[in-house]
């Protein structure tokens, strides 16, 4: 699960997770009383991470983090995120290869869109290493549609898949008119989706994305209450 502002290791531990990431190259600072056993996966979020010598940081921390994987650029097809062309990403990719870790592709907004196709085609043509493909998915509570997208992504590139962010989201929601999706619908989506993902041998990992409980778009998908206690969604996620 990606970490979000306001919560930290205590909340991650309450979910009994196998792994987590925080959109950055470095392991987050431990609070004195924290004990944490989930595997940390570093990420090179965008150009800035490289300019700040993120790959060097990842490599320097491997002896004690034990990191085996490195995630690529975050939503490069979004101007508010990593925001770069596929060609620009390809030019930067050799720097990520030098990490020596198993590499996950960039995660565009549209998993089956043109950006990732251009990147993956270019990587193949240039003999660049991409060990698994990553994807995001935010839509209504339709597990069958989500699982079909995961299947198509694998079929298109023939590589293992990580779903590094997914949740139910209502992009038409506002503060005055929060998400139309009910807790019952979201719980059913989570149960069906996780069951389906576990049946796909090419799906190596997945991570539910959480926002603040009062977020109008995704608050109903939140894993935690505002006080940090697990929500019903969080309780279910922990059990799956």
pLDDT of 141-186, one tens digit each? 999 999 999 999 999 999 999 999 999 998 888 998 889 999 999 9
Tokens of 141: 């509570």
Strand partners, 165: 136
Beta-carbon contacts of 176 under 8 Å, excluding residues fewer than 6 positions away, are none
Beta-carbon contacts of 131 under 8 Å, excluding residues fewer than 6 positions away, are 102, 103, 104, 159, 160
Q: For the domain 9-239, what is the CATH code?
A: 3.20.20.80
Q: What is the pLDDT of residue 156?
A: 98
Determine the Cα–Cα distance for residues 138 and 140; give it in Å rounded to an integer: 7
Q: What is the pLDDT of residue 33?
A: 45
Q: What percent of the chain has pLDDT over 90?
A: 76
The region of weakest confidence among 85-94, 201-210, 221-230 is 221-230
Domain boundaries, the chain: 9-239
Taking Cα atoms as reference points, which of 165, 170, 162, 237 lies closest to residue 202? 162
Q: Nearest 5°: phi and psi at 145? A: -65, -45
pLDDT exceeds 60 at position 31: no
Taking Cα atoms as reference points, which of 236, 229, 240 lies closest to residue 185? 236
Determine the Cα–Cα distance for residues 42 and 49; give it in Å rounded to an integer: 11
Q: Residue 152 in contact with residue 170, Cβ under 8 Å?
A: no
What secondary structure letter does DSSP report for 177? Answer: S
What secondary structure letter does DSSP report for 38? Answer: S
What secondary structure letter does DSSP report for 5? Answer: T
Q: What is the pLDDT of residue 35?
A: 59
Determine the Cα–Cα distance for residues 218 and 212; give it in Å rounded to an integer: 8
Q: Nearest 5°: phi and psi at 75? A: 45, 60
Name the average pLDDT for the chain. 91
Q: CA dist 188 to 40, 125, 184, 203, Å?
A: 29, 42, 6, 20
Determine the Cα–Cα distance for residues 66 and 116; give it in Å rounded to an integer: 29
Beta-carbon contacts of 122 under 8 Å, excluding residues fewer than 6 positions away, are 86, 87, 90, 128
Q: What is the pLDDT of residue 8?
A: 67
């Amino acid at each position: 699960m990606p970490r979000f502002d306001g919560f930290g290791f205590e909340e991650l531990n309450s979910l009994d997770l196998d792994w987590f990431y925080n959109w950055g190259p470095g392991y987050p600072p431990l609070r004195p009383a924290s004990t944490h056993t989930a595997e940390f996966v570093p990420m090179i979020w965008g150009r800035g991470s490289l300019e700040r010598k993120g790959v060097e940081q990842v490599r320097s921390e491997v002896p004690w983090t034990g990191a085996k994987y490195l995630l690529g650029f975050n939503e490069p097809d979004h101007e508010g995120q990593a925001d770069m062309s596929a060609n620009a990403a390809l030019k930067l990719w050799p720097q990520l290869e030098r990490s020596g870790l198993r590499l996950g592709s960039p995660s565009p907004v549209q998993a089956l869109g043109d950006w990732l196709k251009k990147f993956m085609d270019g990587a193949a043509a240039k003999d660049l290493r991409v060990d698994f493909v990553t994807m995001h998915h935010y839509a209504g509570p339709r597990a069958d549609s989500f699982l079909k997208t995961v299947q198509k992504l694998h079929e298109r590139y023939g590589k293992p898949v990580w779903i590094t962010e997914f949740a139910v989201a209502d992009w038409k929601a506002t503060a005055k008119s929060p998400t139309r999706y009910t807790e019952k619908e979201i719980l059913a989506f989570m149960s069906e989706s996780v069951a389906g993902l576990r049946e796909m041998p090419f799906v190596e990992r997945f991570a539910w994305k959480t926002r603040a409980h009062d977020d109008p778009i995704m608050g109903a998908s939140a894993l935690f209450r505002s006080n940090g206690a697990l929500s019903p969604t969080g309780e279910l996620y922990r059990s799956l």
